[in-house]
Amino acid sequence: MSHLLELFEESDAPRPEIRDASHNLADIVVGDVRTVLQSFPDETFRTCVTSPPYWGLRDYGTEGQIGAEKDIRDYIKDLVAVFREVRRVLTHDGTFWLNVGDSYTSGGRTWRDVDAKNKGRGMSYRADTPEGLKPKDLIGVPWRLALALQEDGWYLRTDIIWNKPNCQPESVKDRPTRSHEYVFLLTKSEKYFYDHSAILEPAIDPKQKAKNRRTVWNINTEPYPGSHFAVYPRQLVRLCVQAGSQPGDRVLDPFFGSGTTGVVCNELARRCTGVELNADYAELARERLLKRR
Ligand SMILES: C[S@@+](CC[C@H](N)C(=O)[O-])C[C@H]1O[C@@H](n2cnc3c(N)ncnc32)[C@H](O)[C@@H]1O
C-alpha cells in the first residue's frame, strides 16, 4: 500500500485557489476501507464527510461490504473501528460529518423484494430483529452509532436533521411518513475549525441579517442516474465541506459511492480522497468527476 502515500506527498504544496472546476482534485482508492485507511498518514484531512451503508437496507453486492452484518452490534462495532481510523487521519482541529438513516425491525421477514423504483433495495437477506426489540420497532441506528462514537472518544457536537421535502411516499397508515435522516457533527478535539460564516442562513426579509445556521436542513434528495444506492445531495455536502474546511484543504470520504463528496470538493477547490469497495461504483464516480456534477 506504500504507493498510496504518494497521494499525500505534496501536502506542503501551496494551497490551490478557487479555479477552473475542470481541474479534478479528487482521488479514488478502490478497496476495503478497513485496510485502506491504515495506510494513510496521521492528521492528513481537515474534514471527513460521509454516508456509510445503512444497516440492513441495501445490498452493495460486494464481499466485505459494511451494512450486511446480521447483528446490529457488529455493524456498530465495524463502523466505530473505521471511524477510529478516520479520527487518526483527521487534523487535530478536524471535523467529521456523518450522515446516517434509520430503519425498522424486519418483523420476521427474511428478505426484501426488489423495488422497481429503488433497485438497490432488493436484498437476499434480512437482518434479525435486534435483541430487546419487537417487530415494527424503530431501531434507532443513528443514535446507537452516535453514542458509541462518543464513548469511543469523539466529541458529539450536534445532531442535524436533514429534512427531505421530496421524500419517498410510504404505504403506512399507522405512523407518519419518514422524511428525515441525521447528520452528526463530531470532532476530534474540544476546539476545532468551524467556519460558521460560510454557511449562514440567508435572511428572507432584506431588512434582517443572515442568521447562524440552524439544525434543521431542508434539502431535496438528488438521485444520480446509474447509481442503485442512496446518493446524498450535493447541497448537504456543500454545507459540511464549507463549514469544515478551507480551499486547498484535504477532505476524506471513506464510503465514496458515486463520488458526490468529490464533485462538491472540485466545485469548492478542496482536495478530496474517496475510498470505495465496489470497483464498478468507483468507475461511476470517476465518470461523474469528469462530468463535474
Ligand atoms: C451509502 S453509499 C455512499 C453514497 C455516496 N455518499 C454517494 O453520494 O454516492 C455507501 C458506499 O459504501 C461502500 N462500502 C460498503 N462497504 C465498504 C467497505 N468495507 N469499504 C469501502 N466501501 C464500502 C458501498 O459500496 C457504497 O458505495
- Mean predicted confidence (pLDDT) in 15-27: 62
Mean pLDDT computed over 203-213: 93
Each residue of 124-139: pLDDT tens digit? Answer: 556 778 889 999 999 9
Least confident of 64-78, 115-129, 240-254: 115-129
Q: Which tops the pLDDT comparison, 23 or 45?
A: 45
Q: Average pLDDT of the chain?
A: 88
Q: What number is the average pLDDT over the span 167-187? A: 97
What is the predicted pLDDT for the residue at 130?
86
Q: Is 183 exposed, middle or buried (0-12, 13-18, 19+ CB in 10 A)?
A: buried
CA of residue 282 to ligand 1 center, whole Å:
10
pLDDT score, position 43:
98
C-beta separation of 78 from 66 below 8 A: yes
Alpha carbon dihedral 144, 149, 154, 160, in 10-degree steps, equals: -40
143-176 pLDDT, tens digit per residue, is: 999 999 999 999 999 999 999 999 999 999 999 9
Cα within 13 Å of Cα(38), Cβ side: 6
Homologous superfamily of domain range 13-291: Vaccinia Virus protein VP39 (3.40.50.150)
Q: Is residue 69 within 6 Å of ligand 1 at its C-beta?
A: no
Is 275 a pocket residue for ligand 1 (Cβ < 6 Å)?
A: yes
Terminal CA-to-CA distance of the chain, rounded, Å?
Answer: 30
At 102, list the grid cell: 434509520
pLDDT in tens, 55-71: 987 777 788 899 989 89
Q: What is the mean pLDDT of residues 238-246?
A: 98
pLDDT reading at 121 higher than 60:
no
Ligand 1 pocket member 75 (CB < 6 A): no
| Boundaries of every domain in the chain | 13-291
- Order of all β-strands in the sheet with 155-163: 26-30, 271-276, 250-253, 45-50, 90-100, 180-187, 155-163, 216-218
Four-residue CA torsion sign, 202, 208, 212, 217:
negative
